[in-house]
Amino acid sequence: MKNKTVIVVGSGIAGLNTAFSLVEKGYRVKVIERSSYIGGKLRQLDFQFPNDACGMCQIYPLYDSSFLDMCIRRGVSHEDIEFYTRAEVISVEGKEGNLKVKIRKHPRGVNENCTSCGKCEEVCPENRFSEFNYITQKAIYRDYVRNFPDIYAIDFNACTRCGKCVEICPENAINLEEKEKEETIDAAYLFVASGIKERDIRYLKEFGVGIYPNVIISTHFERLLSGNRPSQGELKRPSDGKMPKKIAFIQCMGSRDRQNPRCSSICCMFTLKEVRILKEYFPEVEPWVFYMDMRTFTKGGYRYFKETDAVFKNARPAKIEEDEKHNLILYFEEGGKFRREVFDLVVLSIGTEVEIPSYVNKNGIYLLYDEPLEIREALIRSYEATLNVPVLEKEKEAFNFPLKDEYVLGIVDTTGEYKKEGDHIIRHPPLRNKKDVDALLEKLKKEGIDLFVLIARSRYTTEGLLSYKVSPLAFEIVDSERENDLDFAVRRSILKLRYRTPSLKDTQKVEKSVLVVGGGVAGMSAAVELAKKGVRVHLVEKRSELGGEALHVKRRIDGTHEDTPKMLINKVKELGIPVYLKSEFLRIRGIPGEYVADIRKGNDVVNIGASAVVLTTGAKAYIPSEYNYKNSDKIITQREFEEKFDNVKSLKSVAMLQCVGSRNADFPVCSVVCCKDALKNAIYIKEKNPACEVYVLYRDMMAYGKNEEYYTEARKKGVIFIRYTEDMPPSLRIESDGVILDVHDKTFEMDLEIKPDLVILSTGFRPNKENKEMAEKLGIDIDEDGFFNTLNVKFNPIQAKNPGVFVAGTALAPMSIDDAVTSGRAAASKVLDFLNNFGVHKRYRTSDVKERTCAGCGLCVDVCPFEARYIDEDEKVAKVIYDICQGCGLCVASCPSGSAYLVGEETKGIINVLSEI
Amino acid sequence: MEEVIDLSKLDKDFKYQVVREPGGEGLLSCFACGTCAASCPVREIDDRFNPRRLIRMAILGMKDRVLQDEFIYLCSGCYLCQERCPQDVGITELMTALRNIAVREGYLHPSFKAQLEFVYEFGRLYELTEFENKKRKKNGLPELNAVIDEVKTLLKEAGLSKFVEVKE
Ligand SMILES: Cc1cc2nc3c(=O)[nH]c(=O)nc-3n(C[C@H](O)[C@H](O)[C@H](O)COP(=O)(O)OP(=O)(O)OC[C@H]3O[C@@H](n4cnc5c(N)ncnc54)[C@H](O)[C@@H]3O)c2cc1C
Ligand code: SF4
Ligand code: SF4
Ligand code: SF4
Ligand code: SF4
């Protein structure tokens, strides 16, 4: 038998999400966590941007009902997930599908008997420093009031084995002699989600790191914000426990410097969050934020920044000094003036990095990500990573209507009112939850019962509960409160079951197909990944060719000319994915797992059946109305420069203007790609023609993550960056001898005049106008800026509100080609999970089609008053949307070939029931 | 700030010239964070002397102003800015590079020129008169030559004499 075990290293949000996704794909998971508790970095943070709240539980799979919904901070319970704490992987041998993973389990000293009564902590004489809480704790400790596992742990570096805790423990839970253990696990795959860690920034001596008690890092500050609130309602600084009145936040500490050249991407956003939480609970505190560039490029990030109330200073302080009261004096420069400012507390916005274990370079081992990412991106990467494993069909223990010659009928009484005795009469307590249903199914199986009548007091809840696992055709419910003659009602129902014919759909496997709307790189990536996994996909594109906006991108920032859209188009062809060009998605009908989409193709409307829909309709390039763009051929966009301009050698000077049409009152969104575009094209110009001056007029250089290296490279090549502010934008004049740009350099308070041969406007995105209408049709949400929203912008970034609808690519927010591809792949992974778990249960009484005899004439479609029928584009037969069908039977009457019928109520059956009664 | 700087009139090659000069290699790495400006003790005394601003002027190509700026001589060489600069611009060394370019291009600061002329003429920073020799004699010290010709020869060999307006 194939090995179904997968190891996930790291139990942070991305690790847990990977584990969940693997369970949904049919695997058993062992999660290996180094620390004493499950949950990773997020356990230290009570709130997350952009909702300023916790939403960890939102990562629970929606359709796999075997997950017990509960707070992830407190525990996760699933029969297919096993957790190891204080454990690490020490070696991996073998290859994909057959890895031998050696685990070392360090002693914890406390076992599962612990009830967290805390008596041991009271008697323990030894202390340890808690890197979780940044305080001194006893050697026997727990991190928080509630932990998972909810038991204590011993820090054996601090413990002297005095034995006091052992004596006092009423549960006999402590063993000071516990030994280290090793275990080898046979696993098919291994995923590394070891997450991010704070950098050691003690080299920043001028900031007093590790010297001044009131200079702390962000994580420490999050603990201060959390631990004291709301219990004492106080915020206490480390030196004297006083409430700080004025707090400085300094950005890029341990990033963007000689020691750590890259930007850590997440610290701007988390500082803003800390400021907001601070202001919410302690409005009297005055926060100052010292920054160089505010890199708020994530979905909704710019708006978040604009709505944050703090004193923002565009400066990197030079040093911090401490006075005798441990207050801190910051030295910085502003607008050409030298300044000193005193603060009660300084928070250094700490740089982070990803620890990459040595064993990742092996096949069968997958690293989720290699540079710091916010939660949203980390989750997207974890969905994407699980695409690497084949989906294993889950053994669904559904109770179906089997195709048999003889059926065994039973009667289940949950009321105690049915007095008859006999074979196959079962007494069972009322069904209150899924567990009760499982117990009942167990009994039915044991007795060999195929179909049953269930006597219950509340018909609807019972029916709802049963449909969780049982085909609606396999039972009849008798509502004891509504029947005058219970015996008669049971007999009638038995007869109904006896003459019931199984729905063909119920016995044959329903073929799953997926509709992808929008043939850009995100849509094509989703389609390709699904097709590779054997799922039938239809790809619909409004334009006359596939590729979308990415077709206009001619150069990539890494200097390559990788043609992503072309590669994807070829794959779509290779895999034979049906593509509908010049076709427009109109609407969907039906229920999750059984949608049908109306697609306009030319003058026709065709129908495509789909279990799930992936929405990748992208966003449009902004056409500027600013800066005389329309009136001069000396003023072009980055895209036009890239696509058409081939006379770089002739240029003497070029000015690039950032944030044109983005990050303003009209559109308070950062388009993310335009700064990268500027860097890419500026470097390109300098390479082709070093003598050409290139000026980049920017507000915040969005060179996050490794893009910082391109920003540095551009400067080193002589590109000149000039910072302007939103309230003083550059102005442009066209004079007889050319274009003149006036700009106020905010950093140096200098007025500059540039006379470039070419002005390049860095324009970004605008959401598609149709989004609002589209969202209504799909039953999903859009955000304030007009992009689509998902269930949770942070913790559920792909799944839309309406089950079975997923969104990816720039339809969600501005992003680059690579990110759009990743998000498309992540959507494919989410769709696979959905298909593997969503039980397709039809409505109780509907019509159906005998497809073998159906001629596809469409008469039934015409007569159906509910629009519940359509002719499938591929198969040319009639199909029913069971969720809409009311079972009126008009179609049955209209069908010339007798292919339309009412499920379970075939003419023959009804006549038999009537005559026997 | 009323002054508008016309970038087209500036020396576009100056930044590359500085980068080619030993000590000036780091100039273009500067991302204008202001750390140096808030570190500099000279700056603390007078806002006119500001390393970040000087670096900016060099990058923009304000060659004349940079090479004539008193600050390149006033830099105390304390290395505070250089140690703290996150981009490894090497500011203190850059100051040396700028002085070297200034001198080579004839932008020698008048005070240095005056000093040089004294050294050239007298072999030391001041003129030795009879009065001094008398005092020396009284204290039992040997008399000194009013003019040291070896220094003159040395300065000529080193090519520095070209800055001296010789009154021979
Ligand atoms: C000015 C500019 C410069 C850029 N520069 C770069 C760069 O240098 N590097 C980089 O990595 N990225 C760059 N990008 C971003 C890149 O273009 C996108 O990240 C990427 O193309 C997004 O892919 P997508 O599939 O999500 O959306 P899109 O490519 O926009 O694809 C969506 C597709 O869906 C179709 N569609 C829309 N509505 C419907 C409907 N109702 N029915 C059917 N079809 C529909 C659209 O016609 C389109 O073809 C740039 C973007 C812009 C605008
Ligand atoms: S610019 Fe980058 S490194 Fe600096 S604080 Fe912002 S996200 Fe972090
Ligand atoms: S130019 Fe574009 S990427 Fe850069 S800050 Fe402005 S909107 Fe964001
Ligand atoms: S400290 Fe370095 S990077 Fe910052 S302004 Fe000064 S020279 Fe430039
Ligand atoms: S080395 Fe020179 S420029 Fe730098 S801080 Fe010291 S005096 Fe100022």
Please give the DSSP secondary-structure letter assigned to residue A250.
E
Neighbour-count burial for A893-909, b at 16+ CB within 10 Å, e otherwise: ebbeeebbbbbbbeeeb
Residue A623 lies in a domain: no
pLDDT at residue A385 above 50?
A: yes
Give B-chain residues touching A316 at CB under 8 angstroms: 33-35, 86
Interface contact A315, partner B, CB < 8 A: yes
- Which pLDDT score is estimated for A843? 47
H helices present in chain B, as ranges: 14-20, 35-39, 41-45, 51-60, 63-68, 71-74, 80-84, 91-104, 110-122, 130-138, 149-157
Quick check: is A504 in a domain?
no
Range picked from A161-175, A384-398, A583-597 for highest mean pLDDT: A161-175
Decide if pLDDT at A257 tops 60.
yes
In a domain, A360, yes or no: no
First to last CA, chain B: 46
Residue A484's pLDDT is 85
Residue A525 sits in the same domain as residue A610: yes
- Is the CATH number 1.10.1060.10 carried by domain B7-104? yes
Question: In chain B, what are the domain boundaries?
Answer: 7-104, 110-163
Among A711, A381, A684, A387, which residue's Cα sits nearest to residue A561?
A: A684
Query: Which ligand is closest to the CA of A521, given by its number?
Result: 1
Q: Poorest-confidence range of A259-268, A347-356, A835-844, B130-139? A: A835-844
Integer Rg of chain B from CA: 20
Does ligand 1 come within 6 angstroms of the Cβ of A542? yes
Residues whose CB falls within 8 Å of the CB of residue B131, separated by 6 or more in sequence, listed in order: none
Is the pLDDT at A467 greater than 80? The verdict is no
Judge whether residue A586 has pLDDT over 80.
yes
- Tell me whether residue A125 is in a domain: no
Q: Are A754 and A800 found together in one domain?
A: no
Domain-embedded: residue A284: yes
- Beta-carbon separation of B38 and A333 below 8 A: yes
pTM: 0.84
Per-residue confidence (pLDDT) for residue B95, from 0 to 100: 97
pLDDT of residue A840: 44
Q: Classify the C-alpha dihedral A403-A408-A414-A417 as positive or negative.
A: positive
pLDDT in tens, A852-893: 899 999 999 999 987 888 898 888 999 887 767 777 889 999
* Nearest-CB residue to A315 (from B34, B47, B56): B34
Do A527 and A640 have their domain in common? no
Statement to judge: residues A246 and A289 lie in one domain: yes
Closest CA to A21 of A75, A84, A68, A67: A67
Q: Which amino acid is at A839?
A: G
- Regarding whether A725 and A665 lie in a shared domain, the answer is yes
Residue numbers of the domain that contains A240:
197-354
Q: What is the pLDDT of residue A423?
A: 87
Contact B8 A317 (CB under 8 A): no
Which residues' Cβ are closer than 6 Å to ligand 2? A 251-252, 255-256, 263-265, 267-268, 293, 295, 349, 351, 704
Domain stops at, among A338, A354, A370: A354
Smallest CA-to-CA distance from A7 within A158, A168, A189 is with A189
CATH number reported for the structural domain that contains residue A534 in this entry: 3.50.50.60
Note whether A581 and A718 are same-domain residues: no
- A203 shares contact with chain B (CB less than 8 Å): no
Classify residue A248 as exposed, middle or buried by CB count within 10 Å of its CB (0-12, 13-18, 19+): buried
**Whether complex ipTM tops 0.95:** no
B59 closest CB neighbour out of A711, A720, A751: A720
Distance from CA of B18 to the nearest CA of A (A): 12
Residues A655 and A749 in one domain: yes
pLDDT above 90 for A596: no
Which residue would you say has higher pLDDT here, A837 or A849? A849
Domain count along chain A: 5
Q: What is the pLDDT of residue A326?
A: 97
Which of B50, B57, B75, B85, when mutated, tests ligand 4's pocket best, judged by the most ligand atoms within 8 Å of its CB? B85
Q: Is residue A614 included in any domain, yes or no?
A: yes
How many whole angstroms separate alpha carbon B146 and alpha carbon A593? Answer: 105
Q: Is there a single domain that holds both residue A788 and residue A805?
A: yes
CB contact under 8 A, B31 and A750: no
CB–CB contact A747 B34 (8 Å)? yes
Determine whether A842 is exposed, middle or buried from the number of CB atoms within 10 Å of its CB (0-12, 13-18, 19+): buried
pLDDT at A376: 95
Q: pLDDT category, A129, cuts 50, 70, 90? A: very high
Q: Tell how far the Cα of A236 is from the centroid of ligand 3, in angstroms.
A: 38
Calculate mean pLDDT across residues A55-68: 70
Q: Tens digit of pLDDT for each residue in A24-52? A: 999 999 999 999 999 999 888 878 887 77
Cβ distance A750 to B5 less than 8 Å, yes or no, reads yes
Q: Which of B6, B28, B86 sits opposite A715 (nearest CB)?
A: B28
Atom of ligand 5 nearest to the CA of B78: 6
Among candidate residues A465, A498, A531, the one where a domain is terminated:
A498
Joined tokens for residue A27: 């695997």
Mutation choice for B interface testing from A199, A201, A316 by most B CBs within 10 A: A316
- A chain contacts of residue B3, beta-carbon cutoff 8 Å: 751
Of residues A177 and A506, more confidence is placed in A177
Mean pLDDT of A604-619: 93
Domain-embedded: residue A508: no
Q: Collect all residues of chain B within an 8 Å Cβ-Cβ radius of residue A749.
A: 1
Shared domain check, A446 and A344: no
Share above pLDDT 90 across residues of chain A, in percent, rounded to a whole number:
68
Residues of B in contact with A333 (CB under 8 A): 34, 37-38, 50, 52
Atom of ligand 2 lying closest to residue A262 CA: 3
Point out the residues of chain B with pLDDT beneath 70: 1-2, 166-168
pLDDT at B112: 85
pLDDT tens digits along A199-249: 999 999 999 999 999 999 999 999 998 864 444 568 999 999 999 999 999
Both A860 and A826 in a single domain? no
**Rounded to whole angstroms, how far apart are CA atoms A132 and A148?**
14
Cross-chain Cβ contact B87/A257 below 8 Å: yes
Ranges A127-131, A313-317, A332-336: which has the least confidence: A332-336
Interacting residues of A177 by C-beta distance below 8 A, sequence separation 6+: none
Q: How far is CA A859 from CA A671, A862, A866, A871, A898, in A?
A: 50, 5, 14, 10, 12
Closest by Cβ to A751, choosing from B4, B8, B56: B4
CATH at residue A886: 3.30.70.20
- Using a CB-CB cut-off of 8 Å, the residues of chain A touching B36 are 318
| Residue range A366-375: mean pLDDT, rounded | 95
Cβ(B32) to ligand 4 under 6 A? yes
Structure tokens at A452: 């049953």
Does the beta-carbon distance from A317 to B35 stay under 8 Å? yes
Are A616 and A778 spatial neighbours (Cβ–Cβ below 8 Å)?
Answer: no
Query: With left for phi above 0 and alpha for psi between -120 and 50, is residue A86 left, alpha or beta?
Result: left
- Shared domain for A554 and A422, answered yes or no, is no
Q: In chain A, which residue's Cα lies nearest the Cα of B42?
A: A338
Give the count of beta carbons closer than 10 Å to the beta carbon of residue A163.
10
Distance of CA A564 to the CA centre of its chain: 23
- Which one, of B12, B22, B78, B25, lies nearest residue B51 by Cα? B78
Position A794 in a domain: yes
pLDDT digits (tens, 9 = 90+) for A734-765: 998 899 999 999 999 999 999 999 999 999 99
Residue A842 scores a pLDDT above 50: no
Gap between the Cα atoms of A310 and A285, Å rounded: 10
Q: Which of A337, A354, A371 corresponds to the end of one domain? A: A354
- Among B27, B30, B39, the mutation site with the greatest number of ligand 5 atoms within 8 A of its Cβ is B39
- List the structure tokens of A744: 């106020």
Q: Is A600 exposed, middle or buried (0-12, 13-18, 19+ CB in 10 A)?
A: middle
Residues of B in contact with A336 (CB under 8 A): 47, 50, 53
Same domain for A207 and A329?
A: yes
**Residue A174 DSSP class:** B
Task: Establish whether residue A617 lines the binding site of ligand 1, counting it when its CB lies within 6 angstroms of any ligand atom.
Answer: yes
Work out the percent of chain A whose per-residue pLDDT is above 70. 93
For residue A814, the ligand 1 atom closest to its alpha carbon is 19
Q: How many angstroms separate the alpha carbon of residue A294 from the centre of ligand 4?
A: 18
Q: Which among B29, B36, B47 has the least Cβ separation from residue A716?
A: B29
Chain B residues in contact with A747 by the CB 8 A cut-off are 32, 34, 56
